[in-house]
Structure 1
Amino acid sequence: MSRRVRHGRTSRRRGQDAELNVTAFMNLMVALVPFLLLMAVFTRLTIVQLNLPSSKIEDKPEPPAIELEAILRADRIDLEDRGKALISSFPKKEEQYDFKALTQKLREIKTSFPDIKAISVLPEEDVNYDNIIKAMDAVRSLTYRQDDKLVEAELFPDISLGKAPVIETSVNEMAGASQ
């Protein structure tokens, strides 16, 4: 009895179906689907509205009466009129920025300049991301209670983000600090 050898093919008979082993695939799906569903609950995506500087030079007839900058320093928040004058400074309280005081001061400014909608938030390099977002929320709007309802008032919704200017220190201050 001699057998015939076929090259490149298995010696199965025609018409016989091969059985697929889907156990490993089913185990993967049983573990992967609940994991992905749980991760969807813990993942939250938030979009922050932000105005980035444009590369176009636009013709502006006149600059606004006030150009606000909220500068987040390591130990305080400075509220300035773009390089002209320091409006107010809010030191940290118990190692936390005083965002409530910043919002109240911006509310006073908004009553004087109701048409102004723009502000720049300028954090120093060592300010963490969470505090930057809190500052943006504080300058964007104000939430207060009126007639047992929470009311949200718009402050400065057009927020630009940039880098804080470096504090200039004089030679005399540096010499006094080293002694």
Structure 2
Amino acid sequence: MRRRHRRLTTEAELDITAFMNLMIVLVPVLLLGMVFSQIRMIELNFPGMKAGEAPAAEDLRLVVTVIPTGLEIADSDRGLIEVLPAKSEAQDYEGLRSVLQQIKRHVPDKTDVILEVGPDVDYQTLVSVMDTVRSYPAVVATSVVEAELFPDISLMDAAENRVLAQSPKAAEGEGV
């Protein structure tokens, strides 16, 4: 007589311990990463006035021109204030900050500035100039805070063939 062998069937255990360990580590790391990747938005004002409006004569219309060869700070009504040539392919942000701080001391109520941007200026330079024009680090009661310079920024295009002006002479009475 033939014997029938019973096949032994064993069910395999599903071991998900390694997967659970991965999830325990991965979920907090992903949640922490979300906090640091925020999108920043910069509000811009575009130049132009409503029909029938005229600017006041004594108002300072501050214009910062950004071209690849350097920066110019000027009053659109009174002329050139300062010229800051680029230093080894980088703009002089510290010089710009110090000139704007001097202007802010003379006109503390002024909050707007016009950025005249040349066509060959890259995006990172534009954002760095905007950050420099907006505020500067200041120490207040042993803490470093961002002090306001000119937070209301307007943009305008510079001419394609725009070149950096010559530095104004202090003897001629130009400048701040």
What TM-score does the superposition give when structure 1 sets the normalisation length?
Answer: 0.64
Q: CA deviation at 1:58?
A: 5.1
Query: How far apart, in 2, do the equivalents of 1:168 and 1:47 lie?
Result: 31
Provide the alpha-carbon RMSD of the alignment: 2.7
**Alignment match, 1:105:** 99
**Which of 120, 132, 135 is the aligned partner of 1:141?**
135
**Alignment match, 1:167:** 162
Q: Deviations over 1:72-101 (max 9, x none)?
A: 111110001116311001111221111111
Query: How far apart, in 2, do the equivalents of 1:154 and 1:160 lie?
Result: 16
Amino acid at match of 1:90: L
Q: Deviations over 1:49-74 (max 9, x none)?
A: 21123573253462443111110111
Deviates more, 1:54-63 or 1:106-115: 54-63
**Alignment match, 1:151:** 145
**Alignment match, 1:117:** 111
**Alignment match, 1:47:** 41
Unaligned 5+ segments in structure 2 are 1-26, 165-176
Higher normalized contact order (CA 8 Å, seq sep 6+, divided by chain length)? 2
Mark the CA change 1:134 to 1:168 in structure 2 (over 3 Å): closer, same or farther.
Answer: closer
Q: CA deviation at 1:144?
A: 2.0
Amino acid at match of 1:161: L
Unaligned 5+ segments in structure 1 are 1-33, 170-179
What TM-score does the superposition give when structure 2 sets the normalisation length?
Answer: 0.65
Mark the CA change 1:96 to 1:67 in structure 2 (over 3 Å): closer, same or farther.
Answer: same
Contact 1:64–1:116 under 8 Å retained in 2: no
